[in-house]
A and B are shown apart, each in its own frame.
Chain A
Amino acid sequence: DTEVTQTPKHLVMGMTNKKSLKCEQHMGHRAMYWYKQKAKKPPELMFVYSYEKLSINESVPSRFSPECPNSSLLNLHLHALQPEDSALYLCASSQIADRARAFFGQGTRLTVV
C-alpha cells in the first residue's frame, strides 16, 4: 500500500465554520506533512510532524491547527478561515531517513465562502 488517503476530496465552508481535513497512510512513514497549493503554484509547506511531534510550523496562522493522533493519521483543523485560504490542501508522508521520497495524497480542494 503506497497510498496517502485524504478526506474529503472537496470542502466548501463558511468563514464561521469549523471543519477538519483528514489524512491517513499505512506505509509506516514517521514523517507527515501538510502543504497548501494555490493554482499554478508549487506546494507550500505548512507543517511537519516527525514521530508524531510537530517539528516545523511555517508561520501558519492559528486558524489552521494540525494534529497527529498516531503514526498513521494526520488532521488539519480549520476555524474562521478567510476566502484567501481557498486552495488545494495536500498531505504527504515519507520515511524519516528518505524524506525527499515523499508520497502525496490527492488533496482536499477547499473553498471558503
Chain B
Amino acid sequence: QQQVKQSPQSLIVQKGGISIINCAYENTAFDYFPWYQQFPGKGPALLIAIRPDVSEKKEGRFTISFNKSAKQFSLHIMDSQPGDSATYFCAASGYSGAGSYQLTFGKGTKLSVIP
C-alpha cells in the first residue's frame, strides 16, 4: 500500500521561529510532492510543491527540501507567524492506473504559532 509518513503530529513554535515538518515515502513511482495548508472549516489549499529532480524549492517564507535517495522531504516555514497556525499535509502524487493519478496524503501536522 502506498504510504506517506508525516511527523510530528503537532508542533508549537514561537513567533519568528522556524517550523519544520518532515515526511517520508516508500513508493519510488511517486513523481510530485505537494504540501497543503488547511485552516479549520476550510478545504486544503496548495502551498508549495516539488518534483523529485529538484532538491530544494523556496516560495517566500516556505521552503521544501527533498532528499530522493532517502525518500524524504520536509517543509520549512521561516519567521513563523500566528497566521500560519493551521494543519499541514504533505502528499505524494503517482499514477494509479486507468489514466488517473492519485494524491496520497500524510496524516497531517497541526502547527500552532504562539506570540
**Residues on A facing B (Cβ under 8 Å):** 4, 31, 40-43, 45, 48, 50, 55-56, 90, 92, 99-107, 109
**Residues on B facing A (Cβ under 8 Å):** 32-34, 36, 41-46, 49, 89, 91, 93, 96, 98-103, 105-108, 110
CB-CB nearest in chain A for B30: A100
Distance of A77 Cα from B91 Cα, bound (Å):
28
Please give 14 more A-B residue pairs, beta carbons under 8 A apart, in addition to A40-B108, A42-B89.
A4-B43, A31-B101, A42-B108, A45-B102, A48-B102, A99-B32, A99-B103, A100-B32, A100-B101, A102-B103, A104-B36, A104-B43, A106-B41, A106-B42
Q: Is the CB of B34 within 8 A of A100?
A: yes
Q: Is the CB of A104 within 8 A of B44?
A: yes
Q: Is the CB of A56 within 8 A of B107?
A: no
Q: Is the CB of B91 within 8 A of A48?
A: no
Q: Is the CB of B93 within 8 A of A107?
A: no
Distance of A92 Cα from B106 Cα, bound (Å):
17
A100 contacts which of B49, B89, B99 (Cβ < 8 Å)? B49
Distance of A109 Cα from B42 Cα, bound (Å):
10
